[in-house]
Homo-oligomer: A and B are copies of this chain.
Amino acid sequence: MTTETSKLRGGENLSLKRKNKNLLYKIFPISQWLSEYKKEDLVGDLLAGLIVTIMLVPQSMAYAMLAGLPPQVGLYASILPLIIYAIFGSSRVLAVGPVAMVSLLTLSGVGAIAQAGTAEFIALALILALMTGVIQLFMGIARLGFLVNFLSHPVLVGFTSAAALVIGFSQLKHIFGIQVARAEHPYQLFINIINNISATHLITLSIGIGSILILTYFKKFLKRNLKSLKFSDVISETLSKTGALVVVFVSTILVWSFGLDSVSGVKIVGEIPAGLPPITIPSIEATQIAALFPIAMIISLVGFMESISIATTLASKRRQKIDANQELIALGTANIGASVTGGYPVTGGLSRSVVNFSAGANTNLASIITAVLIALTVLLFTPLFYYLPRATLAAIVIVAVASLFDFKSFRHIWAYSKTDALALLTTFFGVLIFNIEIGIGIGIATALLLHLYRTSKPHVAVVGRVGDTEHFRNVLRHEVKTCPETCALRIDESLYFANTKELERTLLSAVADEPKLKNIVLICSAVNFIDASALDTLERVVEELNSTGVNVYLAEVKGPVMDRLEKIGFVENFGKENIFLSTHQAIEFLGCKKG
């Protein structure tokens, strides 16, 4: 072995080591932030962990109730999943746990095959968490994160706004203290509530509305008020996040001291079993998998979407990176963790992650601290929630989802593009009229159809020479020179199956309209790819045009497109001499001189 190769070997070893380390960091991001952990990160992580716990304890119980599950299931879903995410997640500040949207989806999916509150319902929620976890894990490993691209912004806004309404409706019965029959379609739920409104339980309603008012005050005004009273930013910020804790505390004390549960019949949470979550191995039947699959798929995508959006936004603020497929792996594993510890589907939550970030979380240690504090709560403090009124939990849900109803985005989208607004509206009404799965399905299909429709009629401009320059512009927008025997067409779209028919129509009618026409120059500066359908059409149309005595030329074909056309032999058939680098060269060659 010569010195040179052994040197190379040494270099290889070194780069191999670095590669291994990078791989370790990629698969277990915890290994990176733990090895780089600095003492000064600790204060932020501790404070953030504490504040998120204060929010999460009441929220997790409230969301579990929204999902049709006992409150402890929400708490269980806030322990192991957080620790697992801290190990695998590529975001350092994402707060994982129960969220409103996924809870609603759980209710909608499991509620279709079992009665909410029953043991079967709880068992199915575990299975759903397992399926969601497996799907996300698989998508992450198979690098299928791009599937989330199907959910366009208008579809998401329509879905989220409709879901906020549905969630709001579903909690009204707790606020009014009435019984409402389960409805198959969301709009029926609204009708059912109206029909039963006369049975309103006034004390429950007072607790509910009081809670909503307090929570709204904390959310909207407290921070400003405290700041104007010269409190420090950190204290104002922290105190304004304790709204849920305060209403829980006050309403529990009220019910306990006046015996409102036994005397007046206010519905309370009741006994929550103490102790750490049970280890649960879901037993699954094939029919259950088939029935839950659509909703598991939607939770996987919608949950991932919510999570990755907030993770990306927060990471960018500190110039950190998020790996979409690693996020899927982390969320998938977290969901599997939820399913084996008595929980239900989880994902990264919007508001708690923002709180975590702004409370100063530097690493996922904050999440681990939250998980430990929730575990302590489950072990020691569950008796404190015995007298907690359900109306208070409903109020927490309602205030949390109110901001999801996004009328501003709707107005913005409506002003920008009527087709995008159409996709939004079909999703919105699809969810309200049918159900979530069908609504999202209709929305995705509409968005795809409209996209195909939009690109099926590409913008094609006839261009001419601007003055004596080498620039060519649209004859309709600019004062330009053209010549009668030659038509220069700029195609402003990639050519693929949805627009090949239109391309053919455009070319053939240009020829049919202009009997003198002898040359067509296709300017391909905006053609980013040509698929097999378009290639076939192009070959056929060129042949047809040639047979009627019209010559076709190409100009400004992009590098990658040209590479493929050369490989397949199109260039050779077409004639290399008929392809020009610039429009100017083509027009010069065809004898349409300047001036």
Q: Chain A: residues with CB nearer than 8 A to chain B?
A: 146, 148-155, 308, 312-313, 315-317, 319-322, 324, 409, 412-413, 415-417, 420-421, 447-448, 451-459, 474, 477, 492-494, 496-501, 504-505, 508-509, 511-512, 515, 525-526, 528-529, 531-533, 535-537, 540-541, 544-545, 547-548, 558-560, 564, 567-568
Contacts and interface: CB of A to CB of B under 8 A. Distances in A.
A317 to B, nearest CB: 6
Nearest to A455: B494
Contacts of A413: 532
Contact of A497 (B149, B312, B474, B547): B149
A532 B154 contact: yes
Nearest to A457: B146
21 contacts: A146-B456, A149-B452, A149-B497, A149-B500, A150-B452, A153-B532, A153-B533, A154-B533, A313-B540, A313-B544, A316-B545, A319-B512, A319-B515, A324-B501, A415-B567, A416-B564, A417-B531, A420-B531, A448-B448, A459-B528, A493-B494
Contact of A532 (B416, B525, B537, B558): B416
Contacts of A149: 452, 456, 497-501
B153 A497 contact: yes
Given A316-B508, A319-B511, A413-B532, A152 B564 contact: no
Nearest to A444: B497
Given A316-B508, A448-B452, A526-B526, 12 more contacts: A146-B501, A149-B452, A150-B497, A152-B532, A153-B500, A154-B532, A312-B505, A415-B567, A416-B567, A454-B529, A459-B560, A494-B494
Nearest to A476: B559
9 shortest interchain CB distances as A-B pairs = A152-B497, A153-B533, A420-B532, A149-B498, A316-B544, A413-B532, A416-B568, A492-B528, A152-B533
A466 to B, nearest CB: 13
A477 B559 contact: yes
Contacts of A504: 312
Contacts of A455: 494
Nearest to A315: B508
A447 B317 CA distance: 38
A153 B532 CA distance: 7
Nearest to A534: B153
A542 to B, nearest CB: 11
A319 B548 contact: yes
A515 to B, nearest CB: 7
Greatest chain B CB density within 10 A among A317, A409, A532 is at: A532
Contacts of A512: 319-321
A459 B528 CA distance: 8
Contact of A451 (B416, B496, B560, B567): B496
Given A316-B548, A420-B532, A568-B412, A321 B500 contact: no
Contacts of A456: 146, 149
Contacts of A152: 496-498, 531-533
B312 A508 contact: yes
A411 to B, nearest CB: 11
Given A316-B508, A497-B451, A417 B532 contact: yes
Greatest chain B CB density within 10 A among A454, A497, A540, A558 is at: A497
Contacts of A315: 508
A453 B146 contact: yes
Given A320-B512, A498-B149, A528-B526, A568 B415 contact: yes
A118 B456 CA distance: 43
Contacts of A415: 567-568
A519 to B, nearest CB: 15
A515 B321 CA distance: 13
Nearest to A451: B496
Nearest to A511: B319
Greatest chain B CB density within 10 A among A308, A455, A474 is at: A455
A27 to B, nearest CB: 19
Contacts of A420: 531-533
A509 B544 contact: no
Contacts of A320: 512
Contacts of A154: 497, 532-533
Contacts of A421: 532
Contacts of A447: 497
Given A451-B497, A525-B525, A317 B548 contact: yes
A559 B497 contact: no
Contact of A528 (B417, B493, B548): B493
A494 to B, nearest CB: 7
A559 B155 CA distance: 27
A498 to B, nearest CB: 4
A361 to B, nearest CB: 18
Nearest to A498: B149
A492 B337 CA distance: 42
A187 B541 CA distance: 37
Contacts of A532: 152-154, 412-413, 416-417, 420-421
Greatest chain B CB density within 10 A among A508, A545, A548, A568 is at: A508
A445 to B, nearest CB: 10
A508 B568 contact: no
A447 B533 CA distance: 11
